[in-house]
Amino acid sequence: QVRLQESGPGLVKPSETLSLTCAVSGVSIRSNVWWIWVRQSPGKGLEWVGQIYPTGTTSYNPSLESRVTISMDKSKNHFSLSLTSVTAADTAMYYCARIDDCGGDCYFVDYWGRGTLVTVSS
Amino acid sequence: IILTQSPDTVSLSPGERATLSCRASQSVSSNYLAWYQQKAGQIPRVLIYGASTRATGIPDRFSGSGSGTDFTLTISRLEPEDSAVYYCQQYVNSRGSFGGGTKVEIK
């Protein structure tokens, strides 16, 4: 059974860095799939943040690209999100997730973490 | 790519048909268009991928269609448990995005 579990501080001060980790169990993150982060501001819609492939290849939402970094630690079977210079607009539920790409012919989230709420406030 | 979903909210009775629209600002390959359902307080779940393929365990009252810039999710014979927000999602040039969502209310 594939499981993803987000962890990290629930409260971050403005201008500081938000750091989250997604622990993956039931499957190796070395498998040839994309691992992604999605966020959802309170009462709002879903926002694709970015993704990482086991080769280390990443891609990011253009609106966040200057502040976001996604990395992977294969030895710990987890991947991480770092978002710098946060403001109240970054307050959201942050989900980590796995992509099923049908061997390259599709792209959708097949497994989600439960999400972790991060509030940006002094 | 910007995905615009309409309507924002639809309110229908059980047994009726819901037609949800997702319009892309640029052409999206049908392979890379998916639909999700998110019920209140829950994580999203995929309904449709590849524009028209139902995900495992999804009832056949959910169907997807469309191509290019216009895609549709149809829920025939609405049931009370279909009350949720529905999102479309695309993936082009190694970047994804979601639409703003359509809320389906069951009267």
Residue A104, pLDDT above cutoff 90: no
Residue A17, pLDDT above cutoff 90: yes
Q: Which of A12, A21, A20 is nearest to A86 (CA)?
A: A12
Residues B97, A114: C-beta atoms closer than 8 Å: no
Can you tell me the mean pLDDT for A18-26? 98
> Is A2 near chain B, with CB under 8 Å?
no
Phi, psi (rounded to 5 degrees) for A89: -65, -15
Judged on CB neighbours under 10 Å (0-12, 13-18, 19+), A45 is: middle
DSSP H helices in B41-97: none
Residue B52 three-state SS: coil
Can you tell me the mean pLDDT for A25-36? 96
Residue A54, pLDDT above cutoff 90: yes
Residue A88 three-state SS: helix
> Which chain B residues are closer than 8 Å to A61 by Cβ?
95, 97
| Series of mean pLDDT values for 10-residue runs along chain B (107 residues) | 97 98 96 97 97 97 97 97 98 95 97
> Which chain A residues are closer than 8 Å to B43 by Cβ?
95, 112-115
Residue B39 Cα, gap to closest chain A Cα (Å)? 12
Residue B75's pLDDT is: 98
Residue B102's pLDDT is: 98
Residue A103's pLDDT is: 86
Residue A92's pLDDT is: 98
Q: Of all helices (H) and strands (E), which one includes residue A52?
A: strand A46-52
Residue A110 — very low, low, confident or very high, per pLDDT cuts 50/70/90? very high
**Cα–Cα distance measured from residue A121 to residue A87, given in angstroms and rounded to the nearest whole number:** 8
Write out pLDDT tens, residues A86-99. Answer: 999 999 999 999 99
Residue A111's pLDDT is: 97
